[in-house]
Amino acid sequence: MKRAKLPLLYLVLASVASVPIWLQAHAAARPGPRVIEISARRFGFTPREITLKKGEPVTLRLSTEDVKHGFFVKALNLDADIIPGTTSEITFTPQTTGKFVSVCDNFCGSGHGDMRMTIVIE
């Protein structure tokens, strides 16, 4: 009877020991959020429109080379300052479909009021 339990014990121990390795391999295989580069410049964003999928994680990577800008979308609860020479990131998972408009919420000059970008979530 003891001999029959020993192989079973080895099997259980080997299975338990392999769980962390399996979890690490599967975590590494999962892709990260989709990254979208957005450039702010007096007086617009490039690209002017992006399309996202509901439920798909995304990182918006924001940069500028001229002056400080803002990136604000009230309906999606997105808000970031974009400072020259640095990169700001917003990572989120869209939960609502529709068209949303981002505005620059830091005064950046006379054309500031026209600085908008459209976010479409399907």
pLDDT digits (tens, 9 = 90+) for 8-62: 666 665 666 666 666 666 655 667 999 999 999 999 999 999 999 999 999 999 9
Domain positions in the chain are 1-30, 34-121
27: CB partners within 8 A, 6+ apart: none
Q: What confidence score (pLDDT) does residue 31 get?
A: 78
Choose among 116, 81, 84, 80: nearest CA to 99: 116
pLDDT digits (tens, 9 = 90+) for 72-119: 999 999 999 999 999 999 999 999 999 999 999 998 888 888 899 999
pLDDT band at 1 (very low <50, low <70, confident <90, very high): low
Q: What confidence score (pLDDT) does residue 113 get?
A: 86
C-beta contacts of 26-32 below 8 A and 24+ residues apart: 32/57, 32/59
pTM of the model: 0.73
Q: What confidence score (pLDDT) does residue 88 get?
A: 96
CATH class of the structural domain 34-121: mainly beta
Which tokens sit at 8? 């079973």
